[in-house]
Chain A
Amino acid sequence: MFINSVFRADAAILISNHRGQSGLWGYSISGDLPIVLLKIEDHANMHLVKQLVQAHAYWRLKGLAVDLVIWNEEHNVYRQDFQNEIDALIPVEYKDRPGGVFVRAADQISHEDRILFQTVARINISDSGGTLADHIKRKQLPKVIIPYITPVQTIKSITPIELPKDLIFYNGKGGFAADGNEYVIVVDDKNKTPAPWVNVIANPNFGTVISESGTAYTWTENAHELRLTPWKNDPVCDKGGEAFYIRDYESGQFWSTTLLPSGGETPYVTRHGFGYSVFEHIEDGIYSEMTVYVDLEAAVKFNVLKIRNQSGRSRKLSATGYIEWVLDSSRWKTIMHIHTEIDPDSGAVFAKNPYNTEFNNRVAFFDVDNLKKSFTCDRAEFIGRNGTLQNPDAMSRQKLSGKIGLALDPCTAIQVPFDLADGEEKEIIFRLGAGKNSHDASSIVKQFKGSVAASDSFEKVKKYWKHTVSALQIETPDAALNMITNGWLTYQTLSARLWGRSGFYQSGGAFGFRDQLQDVMSLLQVAPQLAREQILLCASRQFKEGDVQHWWHPPTGNGVRTYCSDDFLWLPFATALYVLQTEDFSILNEPAYFIEGRQLNHGEESYYDTPVKSVSAAKLYDHCVLAIKHGFKYGEHGLPLIGTGDWNDGFDKVGNKGKGESVWMAFFLYDILTRFEPVARIQNDLEFADECKKQAQQLKENIDKHAWDGHWYKRAWFDDGTQLGSSVNEECKIDSIAQSWSVLSGAGNTRRIDTAMESAYKNLVQKDTEIIQLLEPPFDKSDLNPGYIKGYVPGVRENGGQYTHAAVWLTMAFAKLGDHKRVWELLNMINPVNHGKTAEEIAVYKVEPYVIAADVYARTPHAGRGGWTWYTGSAGWMYRLITESFLGLQKKGSKLKVVPCIPVTWESFTVHYRYKNSVYHIVVTQNNSTGK
């Protein structure tokens, strides 16, 4: 049921509502479905009830779920009779149920709740207003009174923008700038990228995802829970809720500053850089350059427009910025509740959603510096009836109407008119942001007003990223390797994974316990402080029992408790790595509180809740010990229980009955025990150090005794004792991570690991499509039910596609074995730059060649196509593979050991390595015994 403001309650009622969705729950109404409210006072109008109940039955028939709420407002002694008569009209099976009919006596509803009901109802009908027909006739959409522009004939200039030259690895769509720090894309209406090629621009609390065509969405605090504009996740149409237009008053022609939503006739050049994106275009002699970035700390995004007249004549133009508000996770959830107003203090347009349960005080703003501006906050008016952002009605009118307030289809469009003499340039700065409350929002608006503030902010962004990525720079004979290593991997990890926790294909917003812990391990060389902070943050999400939240939403802490078997173990894994690499032993004594919540019930796989902060705390070391001890849960073969999944979440039915075991978990736990033993000795906890040693030894023996399949290691056992990842299986005969971790952990039998890795190479590496499968054959028709992994099409994601995370581990394992040739072969396969060097390659791969994709499809007709980009932990592991395993930079305290595993054909490589305030220029020269 679409929302139409004409059937909403009066503004006076809407503004007086102070209750949220939870206020409905006491009336057995969830508030999740659209509500139609009928107020009936006079028995004589019983026909209205009949009509609405009939309408409700019709909606049901058409699959439209609506809660019909009927208030019996009869006040005389016949009220109960009236109530009975209404009840008799409603089928029992639809009474007081979601999508049903709810009859309530009005005098039993408090004044505040009456306001709430009227506020949330999409249609308010009262018998005092006459019949249904009367309601419809009386309510008419207000007419827009702003006149249309009267266009005049002009001579159009068709000089396009100069296209970039000398791009590296140009594939017909884009290529790297010479220094590798920008990826440059050229698009027009006929030549688009095969999928959205985006940039994820974020600071720790705010960010935006913007595509090569300019489609963007923006969030504050949490990319899922508090979106300012809509995340549409539409890789085909790439639709969005933000747009910027330029208009010529003479011709009436308008175009967007980016290809979407209303591209001009000539090409656009997009440059994605670290912390910013730039869009350039020339339309009818008007050059525009829009730079998009977010401040390094504050919740503010800049769209800086530079517009230059190079048409040879004076022009009358306007710039228009347009934002569709969300202020929650979904626009459809909030569209009725957003208020817009002008902040008298700062002059910005404010948008609020008091209906949001957790963020009801937050205030978003949209602002522009120019005083001479017009605006509207009604999307329906801006785009027009049946209109779109490609051709909004308001862009053909002389100015915007100034409409603002409640019960609108909420948006904010701001238009700035200006004149440009020939050769003249003008800068117009739009700012989108949010504050914790009105005062905070007002302060941010005022702080960042003006071009100086905007320019300072941009300089800080550029300086930060330049400094961060320059901590480690490589010069090798392979340009593709240099491109991906010298910035993009670290940028992807930090901006998209750690800060934004968002990408085009996934906009989670939550911290994954193990996800960001793995990410920060790749930042130990460039930003160790971030690793320290994340480790301590994760310790504070551990339950007193030793398990942890699988993921949680900041800032509320809402999240899930599961029987996942590996996530809590990443805490000691990351801590040991951090301590041994940085020699910052003080972190072990840092205190962190536990959380408390109910334990999972028998047979319950997970639950979502907000745990409470415990009164008890422990130092990080003790959190780690508790986690490790929580992992001492073994099955029939003396190997760790897999629970409702291990690293592979999709194996959630392998051991959900509490008996299934994971061979990978055995290797992983062994790895942790051997890493943590020296940490325990440093802490003088000799008893636990000995326990680690003993448990590790036992695990190694049990692995050797039970997990070998003949040519490779098995992957797991189901609850019923069925093997997985074995030659006896019809599907998933071999799984990559059981082989790679047999080497990485050191727990594999030295007589078997070569065979295991050879089997992995032979069965999982597809040379023709250049991908490395997670397992083979994929699950499809066999009787095995490992869990939701089977829901993926064979060859996609974990189900036998290249899951890049695991592909990187396999390559690291070959490096540990010293297999130079295969490391180089597999590293080249994984490097996304190599999938987008030519037009032919990118036609297959399709997604961004400058960041890692979580997965690459393995089977026809999509073999070699990249999947989910940006939001993947494989970026961090890829960085570690290149720097630690391949180039061999292994840091321990103040010692840097260099043990490369590079191709024998390389004569040398150079590393520029920053250590605190010093810089080391390390030239490694290779002289192989064959004399080349």
Chain B
Amino acid sequence: MTCTADGKRQEDNTITLIDDGKEHNVQIMMFTIAVAPKIPEEFLK
């Protein structure tokens, strides 16, 4: 998962909030691996 805030690329999905009275546009890209959660074996019997 990466995050681009105000044009600056960040290493993770964390935004540093600034109290400057302005409006900020932030875009976050999520890369989701769409796998089903692991169901305990006993429930699959």
A239-B44 Cα distance, complex, nearest whole Å: 55
Of A1-9, A107-115, A914-922, the one contacting chain B is A914-922
Identify 9 new A-B residue pairs, CB closer than 8 A, beyond the known A821-B37, A895-B14, A924-B28: A754-B37, A754-B38, A755-B43, A762-B43, A820-B32, A891-B17, A917-B21, A918-B20, A919-B24
A898-B3, A898-B15, A917-B19 given; A922·B28 CB < 8 A: yes
Q: Are A926 and B26 in contact (CB under 8 A)?
A: no
A924-B1 Cα distance, complex, nearest whole Å: 11
Q: Are B21 and A898 in contact (CB under 8 A)?
A: no
Q: Are B17 and A755 in contact (CB under 8 A)?
A: no
**A 802-858 contacts with B by CB, 8 A:** 817-822
Residue from A891, A898, A915 within 8 A of B19 (CB atoms): A915
Closest residue to B19 on the A side, CB-wise?
A: A916
- CB proximity of A900 to chain B, nearest CB, Å: 6
Q: Are B34 and A904 in contact (CB under 8 A)?
A: yes
Q: Tell me if A894 counts as interface (CB < 8 A to partner B).
A: yes
Number of interface residues of B (CB under 8 A): 31
Interface centre among B18, B30, B39, B42 (most CB of A within 10 A): B30
**A 901-932 contacts with B by CB, 8 A:** 904, 915-930
Q: Are A926 and B30 in contact (CB under 8 A)?
A: yes
B40 cross-chain contacts in A, Cβ below 8 A = 754-755, 758
A711 cross-chain contacts in B, Cβ below 8 A = 42
B25 cross-chain contacts in A, Cβ below 8 A = 920-921, 923
Q: Convert A879-905 into 0s and 1s, putting 1 for each residue whose CB lies closer than 8 angstroms to a CB of B.
A: 000000000000100111111100010
- CB proximity of A813 to chain B, nearest CB, Å: 12
A920 cross-chain contacts in B, Cβ below 8 A = 15, 17, 23-26
Q: Are A915 and B42 in contact (CB under 8 A)?
A: no
- CB proximity of B6 to chain A, nearest CB, Å: 10
Q: Are B30 and A900 in contact (CB under 8 A)?
A: yes
A754-B34 Cα distance, complex, nearest whole Å: 18
Closest residue to B21 on the A side, CB-wise?
A: A917
Give A residues with C-beta under 8 Å from B.
711, 754-755, 758, 762, 817-822, 891, 894-900, 904, 915-930
Q: Are B29 and A928 in contact (CB under 8 A)?
A: no
A56-B42 Cα distance, complex, nearest whole Å: 72
Interface centre among B22, B33, B43 (most CB of A within 10 A): B43
Q: Are A927 and B28 in contact (CB under 8 A)?
A: no
Q: Are A928 and B34 in contact (CB under 8 A)?
A: yes
A923 cross-chain contacts in B, Cβ below 8 A = 25-28
Q: Are B26 and A921 in contact (CB under 8 A)?
A: yes
Residue from B15, B31, B33, B34 within 8 A of A922 (CB atoms): B15
- CB proximity of A308 to chain B, nearest CB, Å: 42
A898 cross-chain contacts in B, Cβ below 8 A = 3, 13-15, 28
- CB proximity of B36 to chain A, nearest CB, Å: 7
A897-B1 Cα distance, complex, nearest whole Å: 11
Across chains A and B, which 4 residue pairs bring their CB atoms closest together, nearest first? A916-B19, A917-B21, A915-B17, A928-B32
Residue from B3, B13, B21 within 8 A of A918 (CB atoms): B21
A817 cross-chain contacts in B, Cβ below 8 A = 37
A53-B22 Cα distance, complex, nearest whole Å: 81
Closest residue to B37 on the A side, CB-wise?
A: A819
Q: Are B37 and A918 in contact (CB under 8 A)?
A: no
Closest residue to A919 on the B side, CB-wise?
A: B23
A125-B36 Cα distance, complex, nearest whole Å: 82
Q: Are B24 and A926 in contact (CB under 8 A)?
A: no
Closest residue to B6 on the A side, CB-wise?
A: A920
- CB proximity of B18 to chain A, nearest CB, Å: 6
A900 cross-chain contacts in B, Cβ below 8 A = 30
A904 cross-chain contacts in B, Cβ below 8 A = 32, 34
Closest residue to B3 on the A side, CB-wise?
A: A898
Residue from A758, A819, A895 within 8 A of B16 (CB atoms): A895
Closest residue to A917 on the B side, CB-wise?
A: B21
A754-B40, A817-B37, A928-B33 given; A918·B28 CB < 8 A: no
Q: Are B38 and A918 in contact (CB under 8 A)?
A: no
A891-B33 Cα distance, complex, nearest whole Å: 25
A895-B18 Cα distance, complex, nearest whole Å: 9
- CB proximity of B40 to chain A, nearest CB, Å: 4
A926 cross-chain contacts in B, Cβ below 8 A = 30, 32
Closest residue to A896 on the B side, CB-wise?
A: B15
A922 cross-chain contacts in B, Cβ below 8 A = 15, 26-28
